[in-house]
Amino acid sequence: MDYILRPWRNSDLDCLVKHANNYNIAKWLTNQFPYPYTYDSGKGFLTMVTKDNPIKVFAIEIEGEAAGSIGIFPQTDIHEKSAEIGYWLSEKYWRNGIMSSAVRDIVKYGFDTFDIVRIYAKPFSSNERSQRVLEKAGFALEARLKKALYKNGEFMDELIYVRFKE
């Protein structure tokens, strides 16, 4: 299935709320990603991400709609040569290989755009689909932090997957 990574636009608000307002997405993300996902949530997100230069967070457009998001977040201080990635995709488009491809795209963009040598992601230990996405995109498991996460009343391990600049 085809997709485009592009900057978020204020006109994406309806699509953003439509696709993001899903417990099956929110349960795999930090608590900064709200559920229910409201219009106010979407407005706040769009205000934040449309200011970045260079762009750090992209819409994943599928069939003419912003149906997901992927971002790269360069770190600071002693971590300045590293960046974290984060992503989500509308449940409607799961299992189509879109996210592994989008992760490969954001990795290339990240290494080309920012002065970094390491890109990492931190999926929940129970999120096997996200782990598989990262593995398909060339990431390797670097660490497991035992009971580092507490979400929805349960402890989970936090995994750290990494790719290095070649």
In this predicted structure, the answer to whether residue 58 has a pLDDT above a threshold of 90 is yes
- Residue 25, classed as helix, strand or coil, is helix
Q: pLDDT at residue 116 above 90?
A: yes
Q: Using CA of residue 19, residue 127, residue 107, residue 117, what is the dihedral sign?
A: positive
Whether the model pTM is above 0.75? yes
Q: Is the pLDDT of residue 166 over 90?
A: no
Nearest to 22 by CA among 33, 32, 37: 37
**Mean pLDDT on 109-119:** 98
Q: What's the pLDDT band for 30 if we cut at 50, 70, 90?
A: very high
Determine the topology of domain 4-164 in CATH.
Aminopeptidase (3.40.630)
**Taking 90 as the threshold, does the pLDDT of residue 55 lie above it?**
yes
